[in-house]
A and B are shown apart, each in its own frame.
Chain A
Amino acid sequence: MKFRAKIVDAACLNHFTRVSNMIAKLAKICTLRISPEKLNFILCDRLAGGGVSTWCELEQENFFSEFQMEGISAENNVIYLELTSENLSRALKTAQNARTLKFKLTNKHFPCLTVSVELLSMSSSSRIVTHDIPLNVIPRKLWKDFQQPSVPEAEVSIYLPVLKTLKSVVEKMKNISNHLTVFAILILQVIEANLNGELNLKIETDLVCVTTHFKDLGNPSLASDDASRDRDPAEMAEVHVDIRKLLQFLVGQQVNPTRALCNIVSGRVVHLDLLYEDVSLQYFIPALA
């Protein structure tokens, strides 16, 4: 099993660091899936009985100037590693002014991901910072737990409102109740031939009921021509989720995504599908039992 990679471009490094920071905010332990073309960060929701909660994917050639990997066999040319996500983000933090950043799978008394940073320095000599991040290699028999979740057929698919606004609303709602109802509706306006979306977040207790309406949200199928032709006049979907899961996701958002979509399957799941330039992140919030 081998893995070696190198980043030399500052922009790529910053982007990779941001992704790593986001992952670190989402979960303590993360699984890194390394394949010849892609790199994935996979987070599992262990407490809620398994199931992948986050699937983050990036094309390795968009980041690494050098990338070599070799799985345990030719048929299974993939590596699954489990590590503490904070360690990776902390290691990358020291690489702010780096000339190069190298990754290598090593075995220094225990399996490690060695991150080696060559820093730019004032003097002629270079400074090298090396971080050995301990990790567990996930055996093949457990790989099935780390597969990309099948994207369910969404009943409603709408663009999310500004995440910062969403976060401040959800943060305050959490103080009232943990049980959040997410309700989305798409209304077809026949005359204008467009789909108008609305996302409602509701929490309810014996004393109070608070609903926040986010209006005028677009829909991705707007672009296609047959969007208005065969659609129902209105589509709606509703699901009850744990507000903390949504909040945890929102807290980790440091930059505005290029695209942020919310797909809802009634009574089943809220699927957040985001794109940060060329990195895709999918976050699954299961419905409360």
Chain B
Amino acid sequence: MTTYQEFIQQNEDRDGVRFSWNLWPSSRLEATRLVVPVSCLFTPLKERPNLPPVQYEPVLCSRANCKAVLNPLCQVDFRAKIWACNFCFQRNPFPPSYAGISDVNQPAELMPQFSTIEYIVQRGPAAPLIFLYVVDTCLEEEDLQALKESLQMSLSLLPPNALVGLITFGRMVQVHELSCEGIAKSYVFRGTKDLTAKQIQEMLGLTKPAVTGQQGRPLAPQDAAATCKFLQPVHRVDMNLTDLLGELQRDPWPVPQGKRPLRSTGVALSVAVGLLEGTFPNTGARVMLFIGGPPTQGPGMVVGDELKTPIRSWHDIQKDNARHLKKATKYYEALANRSATNGHSIDIYACALDQTGLLEMKCLSNLTGGHIVMGDSFNTSLFKQTFQRVFSKDYNGDFRMAFGGVLEVKTSRELKVSGAIGPCVSLNSKSPCVSENELGIGGTSQWKVCGLNPSTTLGIYFEVVNQHNAPVPQGGRGAVQFVTQYQHSNTQRRIRVTTIARNLCPSIHSPDESSYYRHHFVRQDLTQSLIMIQPILYSYSFHGPPEPVLLDSSSILPDRILLMDTFFQLVIYHGETIAQWRKAGYQEMAEYENFKQLLQAPLDDAQEILQTRFPMPRYIDTEHGGSQARFLLSKVNPSQTHNNLYAWGQETGAPILTDDVSLQVFMDHLKKLAVSSSA
């Protein structure tokens, strides 16, 4: 028997599930005493190289309000060819195709090692992947050029049959037609006017009547999609689109002095959402928004175009002085919900030195499972590589992304689902296993997760409903089944089913930054989330191999190199002495080869992290006294400050100029509180 730790690890590796409690309380009362709720982190598309999907469809419980999937926990009568649902105890006959079933000839889904299994659904047409680029043209020339290049490059990364579309915006919003030759056509929308989806579709000529026309040549609905001028297979418009992107100009409307460029982000998104809604509802699609500044006009405006009016700060928000905040947030939320409903996810790539309005727009990605990437410029490797990584592929050569996921949670009678937290929206599915007590997005047993990747993780919260006076008998087990339907990046529709049983859990930034961090926090697995909460600090020195050290100011020593990973940032910090040596160029001298190696070690480690992390962290290489050292100094525990004299000037570390208290002080105080009688 493995250790408990190993058990947990195995479970997580196999099923992508990690519970806060691996023994569940047997009654509601006990559960409440636990303080920490019964919950799990679930990674629906946990990468499983050893799990080939089966080519048939799942067998479902025939009870209308159950529909649980046949799983290894079910009791099976091979002779009668009947199985009993382990959730509702309904006895179901096997379908005819299971006629040959027997003790020795069991389908995969009954085998214990297939507590997680993936089915390929053959029904329906294969829907191509859709990528709709929504590009801000109010950029500096250099930024725009870099962005254009990234976009052009991305075309080569897309599967040839993927549909691609382009919307550009500045003062106006342009939807580019991609099928045309000769003249480049685009449909233009005024950036200040909110349009309904219907209007947008009409204006784009997407409405059925228009297409069907009086010409007596009615088009099948699918044709409408096929003939959509704005979304075309990459292989067909590759050249066109490359040229189009190449000719993309900065927004030509003059920007008077003292003004911000007019940026119609709101309408652009509205058009993008409307376009997809009208052409490919319920088909996996990715809207990729690239912005270089905040929306300055029209619906969704975050700040006016007067430069003298700065964009809202935390201060403004606290004072309720951010006049566009609520309206804009509401606007984007509405868009996000529409998009999510249709299974389309929205990425935001925001590269600007100032804020870009992520606070208002965050829900676009949060609700649709899209990415948010924040950087200073499109002309940075942070953006370029992160963007490239969006299109990274797995061992099968498929994109590490999936679309239009629907996650359903079924529980055995002892449990009910309180809610979920993660990049999802409720589908308002009222099944018997839905708890009345909501936690996160509750009131449903189904969630839409429009954009998924192998690391996408949701927190699922449960409620134990057994009454104290009718506890589960000893040895009783509760079961949970996660059914995730999604569109695989190879266009297949798939269903992944995970069934588990337990005998009867889980700093100052700009509003945008906070939104950004939270966005990622809610969708990462435990390890990554923990890194976000408490960065890891490694120390490199001549004294031995790299070692993790306390995230404390005392760890900042002159002869050390530090590597800090905060998930969003990777900071390499060269101590004062090291920095002097480096400046003196010792590493270039043969006799100081060891110093060179020392310098190289953290770089290699950082590189490893950079290659796997999404979004790519901000990579900072700094040294003692460097301006970028603040990234490190702001994270460490200020055990030595200008206030505590005993450490000042000693070789024990670097003092931090802060009024914050150190962990030591905090802990002392905590202890005092914990033992004080007043508690």
A and B physically associate:
no
Chain A contacts to B: CB under 8 angstroms = none
Residues of B participating in the A interface, judged by any CB pair closer than 8 Å: none
